[in-house]
Structure 1
Amino acid sequence: MRVAILGSGNGGTAAAFEWAQAGHEVSLWDFEEFGENIAAIAASGHIEGRVKFEGTAPVRYAGHDLARAVDGADLVLVVGPAYAHEALGEALRGHLSTEAAYCMLPSGCNGAVVLKKALGLDLLDDTYVIGETGTLPYGCRLVEPGVVRVTTRVLDGLFVAALPSTRTDELLAKLQVVWPQAEAAANVLQTTLQNGNPVLHPAIMLLNAARIENTGGDFLFYTEGVTPATARLMQAIDDERIALGEAIGVRIVPDPELGVRQGYLSEATWLKGYNQGIGFAKSQAPKTLDFRYLTEDVPHGLVFISELARQFGVPTPAVDAVIQLASIVLDTDFRAQGRRLPADPGFADLTPDQVRAL
């Protein structure tokens, strides 16, 4: 297949390596302001992989010409943080093809909805195959430009849904060419809520706030940052997320259970599962509180969960407390800037039964 990957960060570079090494023609694109990694790959003609990925993988094109990157693509992976989804969608306008499938990787909460709105499409328009995954398939970091280290590759539980879900099977078939661990979710609300980052990151950040500020993040985020108190807060958030899924009519897998399936955890527990997790053992803490574990996961994850739960009549005291604390700590009104289901086509006015039916 010909595969275009939009976004040259950690996840995008890892995906480009794996699809290229599997024998597919890969293009990697990004905005000009994110040019360092792109330039290194363009100069060498390949990506170097380390740890779980080894060797080099050739890249057909790496650059800032989007038309060239997506030309003839069978699959387009849109890989970036939640706050980049709208910009990526706007850039992609005018470049869609009915021959390609488009996947937001990962959802980051509501990603496929944001993408379709940015593309100027009605959410139920099924002209194009557009969807999302619940998570990245990797734990990965760029070591240097053109070199990606993948410490964990998701073994199971990579949930996928298209919007509308009638086209999920088409998207899934293309993703399973390289990711056989991908499986169909009921719909994009399931993939969105299954994203575990908002459950884990903000709780650990806030309960280690003084340590982060005093040491500049000089500790292991999960190994040392997850204590009994942190574990209880993460579990309380997860319980509320699971209750919201039940109200919507989808099963959300508890994060420790999913972590074992995916290969991050050796046991499905909240304390030892994370502070002794095989996939998290060397994860360094952020140097500052002004980091995407709060600035992305609170407004684009927890606020989305809270607002949707309010519509469904599901109480979320733990989620709401973390949103409020994060807003105070970073002097930012995260609820005001948070992600919600769009007012158009009137999601806010729908009853729970109508949302489920839609």
Structure 2
Amino acid sequence: MRLSVLGAGAIGPAAAALAASRGHEAVLWSPSGRGTMGLDGRIAAEGALSGVFPLRVAQGLEEALASADAVLLAVPAYAFPALLPRIAQAMPAGLPLLIAPAASLAPLAFEALRAGLGPRAPVGALATTPLTARRLAPDRVRIPAIRAAVDVAAVPAAATPEIATLATALFGHACPAAPDVLQPALANANPIIHAALALTNATRIERGEAWPQYELMTEATCRLMSALEAERAALAAALGYVVPTLAEALHRASGVPQGRLAAMGAAIAASGRAVLGPAEMETRYVTEDVPYGLSFYLWLAAGRGVAMPRTAATVAVLEVLWGRDLRANPLLEALDAAGLPRLLREGIGR
């Protein structure tokens, strides 16, 4: 297939390399143009995927979408409010879009933008990205891990098998089918893991220190993760969903056996898959994973009788430490919380 990858940070080029390694043709587009500078027809990968793979650069969004069989949107969630309208206007009605990760019901926000088109291809929701990645140079990525499984759903919900088959064909991972796109929005472990690590390592981040993320999944930090996880699980249960545990998410990403979170962090570090935590305050661990993760949980919990005091406290403390509002989420403004079940099942204007 011809895959168009929208987003050229680390995940986009790495996902393009993974798709190319499986025989697909990959085209990469950078919304700002900066992410594709220095790319000259190929991308080199090392780590869990090793080799040099062909990668064509598209100069514009329309060029990226031309003749594509599928589209992967791989940008931080905070880019969605500005980028989704551009994609909605340019993308042909019959072209399926996969959003990874599908944070804060981004597929429904995209649906709302295309409600006037009538019949159209489904929108896919991936709970997280097909792999983890770091950009080492303009033409080189390091891929610490390729995920074994990623929860998947679609809008409309009946199209989930089609989207799961597409994602597996492109990236190779298993696709446990979710009832609808709200489950993948809740299933991503990053908001909990990253927020806890950012809070407990705020001074290291502020001072620009190099710190090993998995080695610093200490017992205390993991107690906070577990407390946030318990509240997320209660919210999911109240909404009728089951989400993977943090231990299962770490196992899917790294292959280390499930166990105590601190022990798993140490095992990941010892396996050679260790990565450094963020070293600047403008980190997606906070700017993405709190507004579009933890604060999204609080939005869902409001009015449903689900108490999330530790989640609310974590957001409040991070807001003080970072000196900014971490609750604003434009994706939710167009959505009716009371009407979610129908929207999740049927989509909007189909």
Please report the TM-score for the alignment, with normalisation by the length of structure 1. Answer: 0.88
Residue-by-residue CA offset, 1:300-348 (whole Å, 9 max, x unaligned):
111100110123211101110011001111111212x13664454x32x
Structure-2 residue corresponding to 1:221: 213
Identity across the alignment (%): 30
Structure-1 residue corresponding to 2:115: 121
Residue-by-residue CA offset, 1:1-27 (whole Å, 9 max, x unaligned):
111111111110011111122221221
Structure-2 residue corresponding to 1:139: 132
CA distance in 1: counterparts of 2:344 and 2:92, whole angstroms: 29
| Amino acid in the other structure paired with 1:89 | L
CA distance 1:338–1:88, change in 2 (3 Å): closer
Q: Secondary structure at the match of 1:26?
A: strand
CA distance 1:222–1:341, change in 2 (3 Å): same
* Alpha-carbon offset, residue 106 of structure 1: 1.2
CA distance in 1: counterparts of 2:7 and 2:251, whole angstroms: 28
The one of 284, 293, 316 equivalent to 2:285 is 293
Contact 1:138 1:150 in 2 (8 A): yes
Contact 2:81 2:331 in 1 (8 A): no
Tell me if 1:231 matches 2:230: no
Gaps (5+ residues) in structure 2? none
Structure-2 residue corresponding to 1:313: 305
CA distance 1:97–1:200, change in 2 (3 Å): same
* Alpha-carbon offset, residue 120 of structure 1: 3.7
CA distance 1:30–1:250, change in 2 (3 Å): same
Q: Secondary structure at the match of 2:303?
A: helix
Query: How many positions carry a matched residue from both structures?
Result: 344
CA distance 1:246–1:126, change in 2 (3 Å): farther
Structure-2 residue corresponding to 1:95: 90
Tell me if 1:47 matches 2:40: no
Structure-2 residue corresponding to 1:14: 14
CA distance 1:280–1:107, change in 2 (3 Å): farther
Contact 2:70 2:97 in 1 (8 A): yes
Q: Secondary structure at the match of 2:158?
A: helix
CA distance in 1: counterparts of 2:36 and 2:27, whole angstroms: 10
Deviates more, 1:47-56 or 1:136-145: 47-56
Structure-2 residue corresponding to 1:34: 33
| Amino acid in the other structure paired with 2:195 | P
CA distance 1:339–1:256, change in 2 (3 Å): farther
CA distance in 2: counterparts of 1:87 and 1:264, whole angstroms: 36
> Within 5 Å, which residues of 2 pair with 1:104-253?
104-117=99-112, 119-121=113-115, 127-156=120-149, 158-178=150-170, 179-214=172-207, 216-223=208-215, 225-253=216-244
Please report the TM-score for the alignment, with normalisation by the length of structure 2. Answer: 0.90
CA distance 1:155–1:149, change in 2 (3 Å): same
Q: Secondary structure at the match of 2:38?
A: helix
Residue-by-residue CA offset, 1:52-82 (whole Å, 9 max, x unaligned):
22221112x3032211211111111011000
* Alpha-carbon offset, residue 272 of structure 1: 1.1
| Amino acid in the other structure paired with 1:213 | E
* Alpha-carbon offset, residue 232 of structure 1: 0.7
* Alpha-carbon offset, residue 180 of structure 1: 4.1
Residue-by-residue CA offset, 1:170-192 (whole Å, 9 max, x unaligned):
21221121324123211111000
Contact 1:304 1:339 in 2 (8 A): no
Q: Secondary structure at the match of 1:312?
A: coil
Gaps (5+ residues) in structure 1? none
CA distance in 2: counterparts of 1:29 and 1:304, whole angstroms: 28
CA distance in 2: counterparts of 1:138 and 1:298, whole angstroms: 21
* Alpha-carbon offset, residue 87 of structure 1: 2.5
CA distance in 2: counterparts of 1:250 and 1:73, whole angstroms: 34
Tell which has more relative contact order, 1 or 2 (C-alpha 8 A, sep 6+).
2
